[in-house]
Amino acid sequence: MEKLDSEIWEKNIKLLADRWPDLAAPLLQENAFFSPGVRLIDCRCGAKSCQVEGESGSWITLHSTYNPWREAEEIAKHIELKNDQILVLVGIGLGYLPLVLTKTIPQEQAMIIVERNTQLLKAALRCLDLSDFLSLPNLSLLVGEEPAQMVKQTGKIQLKYCLRDLNVVEHPPTVRAFPSFYRPVLKQLRRCSRSELRRRIFYPKVRSEKLNILVFDSGYFTLRESVRALEMLNHSVEVLSVPRPQQGQEQVDGQEDGGARECGENFVKRLLTKITSFKPHFIFTVNHLGFDKEGKLTELLTQLQIPVLCWYVDSPSYILENHERNLSLLLYIFVWEKHYVEKLKNLGFRNVYYLPLATDPEVFRRIPSHHRCLDSYRCDVSFVGNSMVKAVEKWFRKFPHSPAAEKIGQLAIQMQRRSHQTPMEEILSRIKSEYGLSIPFEHDEAIIAFESALVLKSTQEYRRELVEALEEFGLHIYGDEGWFSLVSPEKFALFPPLDYYTQLPLLYNASKVNLNATSFQMNSAVNQRVFDVAACGGFLLTDCQPDMQELFELGREAICYQDREQLKELVKFYLQHPQQRAEIARQARERVLAEHTYLHRMEKMISVFKEEMS
């Protein structure tokens, strides 16, 4: 028997040490075969029962001394199990009931064990093979802590499981042996067993015209404009700040786990407080900012039945690495780039819609041409944009380099340059089928980094070639320091980046021709500049993105170039024809004000959402 005990002990304590090292450590230091205050009894059926010395000094039997398994099975029959509850077992005894329950509960059932007596746990570890029970993925052990601490920990676990109700089941003899410990614990646990907070959160969504909208504010530029538009549409908006992406991060650098980084707990607390007080009909975020890759926040909000509307204005590929954890029927994704609609739907996202970018005419407004504030920005041709130098360096460091990767990379960039509309993923797939070259990485992260690096590098080369083609026009380039290494500073007027809200509108007003060179990240979409320049009444020469002809009447409201030769011709032409330039800019502005402001986008987004919800 002792040998058997020893084997069981080794097996159990190893499992305990793996998952709860702090709990196992003191037990490992003690004599494994001695538990003060616990008296083991050999049952008639061959199993073990035990008695504990209760706080009154008398010895209390914790399990049947005849057949503890049968007893546990009988008790288990009386426990009503619900998947959406957290099962809290108060008192572990030698572990008979948890083991019996392990056989019947779903593997993912959340369970908490509250046990005052570490010595009893030790006795259990040496009497019964608890491995099935200790391996339950959602098991929490609260052993040997103070009552208040246990209640607090239970609250935290409840929060982790989306405020599920607690199903508190006590082990009667354990409670009777130590009433002064367990009674207050039970009282507290039963008080919070029905999550009132959860109930307060379950209010009807989207019944009224005027909606309460909670916006996750990450400081991202689109949010400010979206909030203003939502308020103009007469909705009630409240903002919850989420941790911002690190300074200097490229837009395409992917999202950090905002909520998770802030210490999920604190963020979720603030969020729940806001939800209970404001009762939002939905949460609005841009680029999924504020959400964690693990999908914990998505799970919480889905459990609370709070819809989330997310507008992607950057590539979701960088963000949804663990997309399956962020799947939710209550997640409504709006993407500015059409090809992501199918892509995201194929990943399992059910509600995905196309929603192009827009402008805020309050920010991008026409300024009289004689106005002196424009003086320092006046030029014939200008380009505002990132050189991608830093981003390329950064993303090229994120995958292992090899001759094979280099060869595929060169081919991919060439093909991307020839076909703006083809996603890099598809290009790499073509290279595999046509040239028999496969990406030499196994991990998804490296593959995504490789694809991203190639997109950025393609954009960088594309932009460099375009601006170099306009050397003779005295092009003004506004952007990052990378431009100094990308083009010859002697040949171009290089300027630092402009403030989006205060300086950029001035440049768009002041420059006779505004150049647009869309990133290869967008295969069909148009970027912000197309709308912002037009809203200012500025003239824009842009590349021929497929969405342009849906959003504007080409030739009348927008002028597109096919290649750098045509670009040069068009720049020359429109610099020589100011009236035609002005007419196109006027028409473009009318179109933008009529159809392409944030007001229109938010209106569209809410109408889609209401229709889906109804």
Partner 1 sequence: MFDVKVDGQQREFKGLAGSNFGEVMDRLCQEIVTPNRVITAVKVNGEEITSEMQSKYCSLPTDQLKSIEMETANPEQLIRQNLLSAADYLTRLIPASEEAAEMFRLGEEMGANELYAQCVEGFRWLVRLLRGSDRLQQLRGGESLLGDHLSPVPQITDEMFQAQRDQDWVMLADLLEYELIPLLKKWQKAIPPAIQQRKEKQECK
Contacts with partner 1 by CB under 8 A lie at: 44, 58-67, 71, 74-75, 78, 170, 172-173, 175-176
- The minimum distance between CB 126 and partner 1, in angstroms, equals 21
> Across the chain, how many H-helices and E-strands are there?
26, 19
CB-nearer residue toward partner 1: 59 or 353: 59
- The minimum distance between CB 74 and partner 1, in angstroms, equals 7
Q: Which long-range contacts (CB under 8 A, 24 or more apart) does 12-18 make?
A: 12/124, 12/125, 12/126, 12/129, 12/130, 12/131, 12/134, 13/125, 15/130, 15/131, 15/134, 15/135, 16/125, 16/134
CB-nearer residue toward partner 1: 180 or 614: 180
Decide: residue 500, CB within 10 A, 0-12 exposed, 13-18 middle, 19+ buried: middle
Can you spell out the DSSP letters for 333-350? EEESSTHHHHHHHHTT-S
Q: How far apart are CA 506 and CA 53, in angstroms?
A: 82
- 536-552 CB burial, b ≥16 within 10 A, e <16: bbbbbbbbbbebbeebb
- The minimum distance between CB 238 and partner 1, in angstroms, equals 47
Nearest Cα residue to 285 out of 200, 181, 215 = 215
- The minimum distance between CB 66 and partner 1, in angstroms, equals 5
> Which residues make Cβ contacts (< 8 Å) with residue 14, sequence separation at least 6?
none
- The minimum distance between CB 78 and partner 1, in angstroms, equals 6
- The minimum distance between CB 124 and partner 1, in angstroms, equals 16
CB-nearer residue toward partner 1: 68 or 505: 68
Q: Which pair of structure tokens corresponds to residue 496?
A: 């630092």
- Phi and psi, residue 408, nearest 5°: -60, -40
Q: Angle, to 10 degrees, between the axis of helix 147-160 and the axis of helix 179-191?
A: 30
Q: How far apart are CA 504 and CA 495, in angstroms?
A: 12
CB-nearer residue toward partner 1: 67 or 241: 67
- The minimum distance between CB 62 and partner 1, in angstroms, equals 7
- The minimum distance between CB 132 and partner 1, in angstroms, equals 23
* Secondary structure element (H or E) that encloses residue 139, with its range: strand 139-143
Q: How far apart are CA 222 and CA 418, in angstroms?
A: 31
Q: Angle, to 10 degrees, between the axis of helix 21-29 and the axis of helix 2-19?
A: 140
CB-nearer residue toward partner 1: 65 or 458: 65
Q: How far apart are CA 308 and CA 282, in angstroms?
A: 6
Helix, strand and coil in the chain, % to nearest 5: 50, 15, 35
CB-nearer residue toward partner 1: 43 or 239: 43
CA distances from 482 to 386, 414, 458, 462, 489 (A): 8, 22, 15, 15, 11
- The minimum distance between CB 49 and partner 1, in angstroms, equals 8
Q: Which pair of structure tokens corresponds to residue 135?
A: 């391996």
CB-nearer residue toward partner 1: 63 or 529: 63
Q: For residues 76 and 104, is the Cβ–Cβ distance under 8 A? A: yes
Q: For residues 567 and 468, is the Cβ–Cβ distance under 8 A? A: no
- Phi and psi, residue 380, nearest 5°: -75, -55
CB-nearer residue toward partner 1: 180 or 247: 180
CB-nearer residue toward partner 1: 76 or 286: 76
CB-nearer residue toward partner 1: 32 or 75: 75
CB-nearer residue toward partner 1: 61 or 566: 61
- The minimum distance between CB 110 and partner 1, in angstroms, equals 23
CA angle 543, 548, 551 (to 5 degrees): 155
CB-nearer residue toward partner 1: 74 or 375: 74
Alpha-carbon Rg for the chain, nearest whole angstrom, is 32
Nearest Cα residue to 255 out of 223, 284, 218, 222 = 218
Q: Which residues pair with 113 in a beta bridge?
A: 89, 141
- The minimum distance between CB 42 and partner 1, in angstroms, equals 14
CB-nearer residue toward partner 1: 117 or 521: 117
- The minimum distance between CB 76 and partner 1, in angstroms, equals 11
| Greatest extent of the chain over all pairs of C-alpha atoms, in Å | 105
- The minimum distance between CB 145 and partner 1, in angstroms, equals 23
CB-nearer residue toward partner 1: 63 or 394: 63
- The minimum distance between CB 61 and partner 1, in angstroms, equals 4
Q: Hey, what amino acid is at 491?
A: K
